[in-house]
Amino acid sequence: MLKEEKGLLALVYKDLLRPSAQVIGKSLKAVLEFVSTPFMALQLQNDKVKLNLEKRLDEYAQKLHSIPEDKRCEVHPQIGLPIIEKLTYTTCDEIADLFTNLLASASSIDTANTAHPAFISMIERMSPDEARILEYLKDKEDIQYCDINAYSNQNSGYDTLAEHVTMIEHDVALIYPKNSNAYLANLVSLGILRDKKGTFRMDKTQYNRIREEYHVEELTASAVPEIYKSIEVEESYYQVTPFGRLFIQACIK
């Protein structure tokens, strides 16, 4: 490891012969040339910041070890430099994992093409729960939802009793399950999901689970026709976009 490549690593690791430092030094060679050592030295005077960055770099090094040595490549500074900056203050494990996975993807000739620079700012706009939803979507194409509408006896209007309800809060261990609709809306705004309202999946398994969870049959039996003319379930789904699939490939392992 050349002297000019050591800057940041020397600030983080007391022993530059440590395996983590060695493997990181090779993959981040081009990135480390752009790191402002005086600025980082000032930041790393805070012991908590230093320990946090050391932890994140160790996690990245572990992921590098899973890449065959002949498949490793240098990370482009456009990807690596902002991620290193984010990792100095990212204390949430789920979000840090997205960053280090993206950095690892950029470190392999087989996956470097999936490491889009836009993913960095997208990760910043995510919550830990949204990271968990993306993990759930790793081998899935969509999230099915229902709108449960109660049609009036008096006119042609209807009330929406439940909007865009899914089984996400039951299938994913969310910290704040009541926020599931907000999480899905954010993933739509990020371009990871697309709301396919008006279309539906032929497989009714998830739709039937939603009907059971929201007691649609019991509600219909008790409220129709005395209160409502009818209660209808509109089926649809959120689809993972091609860009969203690329994000999942690069940032979820």
pLDDT at 50: 86
Are 155 and 230 within one domain?
yes
pLDDT at 105: 98
What is the pLDDT averaged over residues 163-175? 97
The CA distance from 68 to 151, in Å, is 60
The domain that contains 150 carries what CATH number? 3.30.110
The CA distance from 69 to 42, in Å, is 34
Percent of the chain surpassing pLDDT 70: 94
Question: Residue 215 corresponds to which tokens in the numbers above?
Answer: 């007691």
Average pLDDT, the chain: 91
Residue 253 in domain: no
Are 141 and 120 within one domain?
no
Are 99 and 162 within one domain?
no
DSSP type of residue 252: -
pTM: 0.89
Are 43 and 85 within one domain?
yes
Residue 80 in domain: yes
Between 157 and 130, the more confident residue is: 130
Are 118 and 225 within one domain?
no
Alpha helices in the chain (DSSP H): 3-12, 19-27, 29-32, 37-43, 47-65, 77-87, 93-105, 118-124, 128-136, 168-171, 180-189, 205-213, 216-223, 242-251
How many structural domains compose the chain? 2
pLDDT at 32: 83
Inform me whether the pLDDT recorded for 65 exceeds 70: yes
Are 69 and 7 within one domain?
yes
What is the pLDDT averaged over residues 171-193? 98
Domain housing 102: 3-124
Banded model confidence at residue 103, pLDDT cuts 50, 70, 90: very high
Residue 61 in domain: yes
Are 98 and 164 within one domain?
no
The CA distance from 97 to 103, in Å, is 10
What is the pLDDT averaged over residues 138-162? 94
Are 14 and 51 within one domain?
yes
Residue 251 in domain: no
Q: Is residue 142 within 8 Å of 160, Cβ to Cβ?
A: no
pLDDT at 162: 96
DSSP type of residue 35: S
Inform me whether the pLDDT recorded for 95 exceeds 90: yes
What residue type is assigned to position 206 of the chain? Q
pLDDT at 107: 97
Look at residues 101, 124, 147 and tell me which one is the last residue of a structural domain.
124
Are 118 and 167 within one domain?
no
Are 119 and 69 within one domain?
yes
What is the pLDDT averaged over residues 166-180? 97
Inform me whether the pLDDT recorded for 4 exceeds 50: no
Inform me whether the pLDDT recorded for 198 exceeds 80: yes
Per-residue pLDDT tens digits for 105-119? 999 999 999 999 999
pLDDT at 17: 55
Are 120 and 8 within one domain?
yes
What is the pLDDT averaged over residues 233-252? 98
Residue 13: closest CA among 65, 67, 60, 69? 60
pLDDT at 14: 67
Are 143 and 39 within one domain?
no
Look at residues 97, 124, 151 and tell me which one is the last residue of a structural domain.
124
Banded model confidence at residue 143, pLDDT cuts 50, 70, 90: very high
Residue 26 in domain: yes
Inform me whether the pLDDT recorded for 93 exceeds 80: yes
The CA distance from 181 to 218, in Å, is 24
Residue 235 in domain: yes
Question: Residue 216 corresponds to which tokens in the numbers above?
Answer: 């649609």
